[in-house]
């Protein structure tokens, strides 16, 4: 574990002296027993870590992070030379270490990956994880990096890398063209603007291009210094062989690596991306018949009706709300393309709470859970779950629950009406 970070401070020391640099890097939150809670990247390590310990944390962070905060005892950190390197390092470490409170980033299906194809002239592509999982992306894969939760940041990162190491993405390699097409082959548009090394017009050999791909691989693996050392050796060799034009090109690349222009990433890092998504679930039936389930969503304290979902139960639960709820949650969590919530609200007491908790545990998720206990008139009587979150998000919890109840009844009546007409 100590190899993950370069330096470490106690939370107490940080809060007294702000003993963290203002440089980009990756930070690690640690519990009292040394357990790794969370990994994050930062444009400024000091400012980003400080933002977790302000009073209005709920305005910038989600409920899961608010639950984590009291557990933080120590802060580890590792500086990087750029935000781009911090982004890549964060992604690689989260995938390797699987910290408890980085739940969203554990999902390889929902987010983008960088793919290097297994071809004579490999392509570098951004591909959704679910397309790989569902075999919609059928190209042979040699290297896979990710998942990257922030799609915009990843696209900017790939742009930066492509300016450093031009690569092929769409064009057909020159030696795969017919003799007739080879005679009229011209550089593709990307090659004309310096983003492809001329794979399509025969300007680079497979061996030379292989070195470019190897540099990209090492960079996305977080081994920038290895890339620098290899390029320095290539530059010296080129100079000795009097290939001064090539030596000059490598020198420019080395300069670019030392002065990465990642302002777009910096702006993306500063902007908060927490939607505070809360999902509510409810079941409706009439004496065990026409059972349906629903999911409602509240984001930023307002219903997001475009995200509402209806579930026709596939199993005859016979009025068993617990098993019906279990089916609904299980089916919902299989939808990797849907954003994971930062809190789940169920209608019911301890039994419903326990049923939902069991599904989340089976899925390996640590999403905060709240149960809304109703009285005889079906009015909210009390809430069960994390007290701190209930106190802070009571309004949102009751809103998403009310919407779930309304939506479930509407869906149930509609379905019951259709079944009546069929009968």
Torsion of CA 254, 256, 257, 262, to 10 degrees: 180
- Confidence grade of residue 376 (pLDDT, cut at 50, 70, 90): confident
Give the per-residue pLDDT at 373.
Answer: 94
Q: What is the pLDDT of residues 116-136, one digit of tens each?
A: 999 999 999 999 888 888 888
Evaluate if residue 11 carries a pLDDT over 70. yes
**How much is the pTM?**
0.63
Fold match between domain 2-99 and domain 277-422 = no
Query: Scanning the structure block, which residue is given the tokens 């742009």?
Result: 159
Per-residue pLDDT, averaged over 265-280, amounts to 59
- Sequence ranges of the domains in the chain: 2-99, 112-270, 277-422
Q: Which CATH architecture has domain 2-99?
A: 3-Layer(aba) Sandwich (3.40)
Compute the C-alpha angle 258/261/267, nearest 5°. Answer: 135
| Structure confidence by residue, pLDDT tens digits, 168-177 | 988 999 999 9
CATH class of 277-422: alpha beta
| Most confident by average pLDDT, 62-76, 165-179, 284-298, 332-346 | 165-179
Q: CA-CA distances (angstroms) from residue 315 to 31, 324, 325?
A: 43, 8, 11
Percent of the chain exceeding pLDDT 70 equals 87
Least confident range from 82-91, 99-108, 207-216: namely: 99-108
pLDDT of 270 higher than 50: no
Q: Transcribe 108-141 into DSSP letters.
A: TTTSEEEEEE-SSS-BEEEEEHHHHHTT---S-E
pLDDT at 59 exceeding the cut of 60: no
Tell me which of 152-161, 206-215, 220-229, 260-269 is least confident: 260-269
Cα–Cα distance, 333 to 350 (Å, whole number):
21
Say what the pLDDT of residue 342 is. 82
Q: Output the pLDDT for position 119.
A: 95
* Interatomic CA distance for residues 233 and 338, integer angstroms: 47
Mean pLDDT, rounded, of the chain: 85
């Amino acid at each position: 574990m100590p190899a993950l970070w370069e330096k470490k401070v106690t939370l107490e020391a940080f809060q007294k002296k702000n003993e963290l640099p203002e440089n980009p890097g990756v930070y690690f939150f640690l519990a009292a027993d040394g357990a790794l809670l969370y990994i994050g990247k930062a444009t400024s390590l000091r400012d980003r870590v400080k933002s977790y310990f302000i009073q209005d944390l709920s305005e910038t962070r989600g409920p899961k992070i608010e639950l984590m905060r009291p557990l933080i005892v120590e802060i580890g950190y590792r500086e990087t030379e750029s935000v781009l390197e911090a982004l890549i390092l964060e992604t690689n470490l989260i995938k390797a270490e699987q910290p408890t409170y980085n739940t969203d980033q554990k999902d390889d299906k929902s987010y983008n990956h960088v793919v290097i194809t297994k071809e004579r002239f490999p392509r570098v592509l951004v591909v959704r994880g679910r397309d790989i999982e569902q075999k919609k992306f059928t190209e042979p894969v040699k290297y896979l990096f990710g998942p990257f939760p922030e799609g915009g940041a990843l696209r900017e990162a790939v742009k930066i890398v492509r300016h450093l190491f031009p690569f092929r993405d769409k064009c057909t390699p020159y030696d795969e063209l017919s003799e007739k097409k080879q005679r009229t082959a011209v550089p593709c548009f990307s090659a004309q603007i310096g983003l492809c090394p001329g794979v399509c017009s025969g300007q680079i050999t497979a061996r030379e291009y292989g070195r470019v791909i190897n540099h990209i691989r090492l960079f996305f693996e977080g081994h920038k210094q290895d890339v620098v050392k290899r390029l320095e050796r290539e530059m010296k060799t080129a100079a000795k062989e009097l290939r001064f034009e090539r030596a000059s090109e490598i020198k420019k690349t080395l300069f670019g690596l030392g002065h990465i222009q990642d302002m777009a990433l910096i702006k993306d890092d500063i902007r908060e991306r927490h939607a505070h998504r809360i999902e509510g679930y409810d079941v409706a039936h009439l004496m065990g018949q026409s059972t349906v389930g629903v999911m409602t969503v509240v984001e930023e304290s307002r219903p997001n009706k475009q995200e509402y979902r209806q579930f026709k139960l596939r199993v005859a639960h016979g009025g068993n709300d617990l098993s019906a709820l279990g089916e609904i949650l299980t089916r919902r969590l299989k939808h990797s393309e849907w954003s994971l919530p930062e809190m789940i609200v169920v209608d019911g007491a301890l039994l419903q709470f326990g049923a939902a908790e069991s599904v989340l545990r089976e899925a390996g998720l640590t999403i905060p859970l709240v149960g809304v206990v109703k009285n005889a008139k079906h009015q909210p009587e009390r809430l069960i779950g994390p007290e701190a979150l209930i106190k802070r998000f009571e309004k949102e919890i009751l809103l998403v629950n009310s919407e779930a109840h309304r939506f479930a009844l509407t869906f149930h009546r509609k379905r019951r009406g259709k079944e009546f007409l069929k009968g």
